[in-house]
Amino acid sequence: MDIQTWMYILVGATFAVYIGIAIWARVGTTSDFYIAGSRVHPLANGMATAADWMSAASFISMAGLISFMGYDGAVYLMGWTGGYVLLALMLAPYLRKFGKFTVPDFIGDRYYSNVARTVAVICAIIVSFTYVAGQMRGVGVVFARFLEVSVNTGVYIGMVVVFFYAVLGGMKGITYTQVAQYCILIFAYMVPAFFISFQLTGNIIPQLGFGGTLADGSGTYLLEKLNQLHVELGFAEYTSGTKSTVDVLAITLALMVGTAGLPHVIVRFFTVPKVRDARKSVGYALLFIAILYTTAPAIAAFGKINLIETVSNEEYAEMPAWFDNWETTGLLEFTDKNSDGRIQYVADEKANELTIDQDIMVLANPEIADLPNWVIALVAAGGLAAALSTAAGLLLVISTSIAHDLVKKQIMPEITEKGELIWARVAAGFAVLVAGYFGIHPPGFVAATVALAFGLAAASFFPAILLGIFDKKMNREGAISGMIVGILLMLFYMIKYKLGGFGGGLEEDWWFGISPEGFGTVAMLVNLVVAIVISRLTTDPPEDVQEMVEEIRYPGEARKIEN
């Protein structure tokens, strides 16, 4: 069967599973809609957390980034992995013990202020919409190639699917859908990795093939070969770094603390019955995440070697079918500048004739390696699973923040549970529409867009959550001031240097030599300083709040989660 037939079969089957789960898990209470009634088993929650965490950025873009950035791309690998560990050890168990629906709920009660709650809601919405833009863009990229439609049309299709199961099933439906999506995405990621690793190195384990020698009998190490190809084309060696140490550290730390402040990941730890179950979930999720994250560098290297050896200085007319297929999406472009009919893929921008969107590398990799059609379609289904799983989690955060933290807690405190559930579903539907718009008009390719979301989370939530748990003297004035200053500073820098606003800015003008992707570190530190200074210059929190902070830091069972 051809690729498209396999695509319809596999993607159709997976979508049927998602929608079937949503119908089975449809909810009638806000507790089920927001946190699945806190009845999710730790193993299932670990798989759902891994799927929520491993977005289109992880599945589609991370290997693409490493493929083109080489050593420099490892900052994303280190930052996202380290961030999950930070979240697991420092925040998740304490937040579960606190016993609230959402991160804004925690901040509102911990800082005894609806102003703090409202600021947290605004931050959650900004972070979530920035993040979800990357997911919807990833959905569009997959559909653009494999259904032969435009990226925008692909985004519309993704909106319809995610709207159905996010609005109908809430967190309960999303959780069990994400369990299925994890199984699909990890299978789809690993199968082609096994195939290509064996082709190139004779070793079926991609992690071992990555550090091994080529199967051509030359005895040349895979990375040594990649370095040679890079140098021949005028690029820096694949294993050498070009970013400044300051920027590498800033990006890594921004991704780490941004991870620990991501509301759609944190809320997953409210879905289990007990504090110890939250800890178990963290362990399971880390294991499930490690499978993909240790494979990504290998896929990046395999893909880059195959790409260079397939296209460099080859006749355009003799390119395999995959080249034409990706050209029609607009994500791959050949411009014959010297009219010789050959593809010049080189570092010199004036002479280079090939433009490649980094987001296609994982998806195109099986086609470049000439793998069976079912494997190619499987990767497409996996990419969709990764993007849709995270998009659903983010949309639920937006929905919950509006329905629970604004409507229920502040605007209409006497609203019935049924009324609140209606508000939650309406908010989810609205969020899908806005997410679709940002998916069509994202501020960069998928992983770069997502990296900005991590910077926004680092600049706003992380200090407020960290100090809320470990500093009982932190008061509402400090937390509110820190969040506002942090997120405004990050937004200003992002708009100026990434989106060209406020007069735009050049790379050489970056503050302290730090890129927009790493500036979340600076904004986070400013947030911390402002919060601590303001809190020490103003009145201490009430005694009952200080006692509550003391209580959640010691072992024991979680509070009952109440609406």
pTM of the model: 0.81
pLDDT, one tens digit for every residue, the chain (563 residues): 877 788 888 888 888 888 788 777 776 677 777 666 677 888 988 898 888 777 777 887 788 888 888 888 888 888 877 887 787 777 777 877 776 667 888 888 899 988 999 998 888 888 887 777 777 777 777 777 777 777 788 888 878 877 776 676 677 778 888 888 899 999 999 999 999 999 999 999 999 999 999 998 888 999 999 999 999 988 889 988 788 889 889 989 988 888 777 777 777 777 888 777 877 888 888 889 889 989 999 999 999 999 998 988 889 888 888 888 888 877 788 998 888 889 999 888 888 988 888 878 888 889 888 899 899 889 888 888 887 777 777 777 788 888 878 888 888 888 887 888 888 888 888 888 887 887 777 655 555 566 677 888 889 988 999 999 899 999 999 999 999 999 999 989 988 887 777 777 777 788 988 988 889 999 999 999 999 999 999 999 999 989 888 887 765 555 555 55
Pairing of the two strands 354-356 and 332-334: antiparallel
At residue 529, the pLDDT reads: 96
Sign of CA dihedral 432, 438, 441, 447: negative
User: Is 490 strand, coil or helix?
Assistant: helix
Tokens of 25: 């898990």
What CATH architecture is 3-307+369-552? Up-down Bundle (1.20)
What pLDDT is recorded for position 442?
64
The three-class DSSP label of residue 203 is: coil
Q: What's the CA gap between 533 and 541, in Å, rounded? A: 14
Pair 492, 500: CB distance under 8 Å: no
The answer to whether the Cα torsion of 190, 195, 197, 203 is positive or negative is: positive
d(CA 162, CA 143): 14
- What are the C-alpha distances in Å from 38 to residues 32, 272, 560? 8, 5, 10
Amino acid at 133: A
Spell out the residues 6+ positions from residue 64 whose beta carbon is closer than 8 angstroms to its own: 300, 303, 358, 359, 360, 361, 362, 445, 447
User: For residue 285, what is the DSSP state?
Assistant: H
Question: In the prediction, which pLDDT does 175 show?
Answer: 83
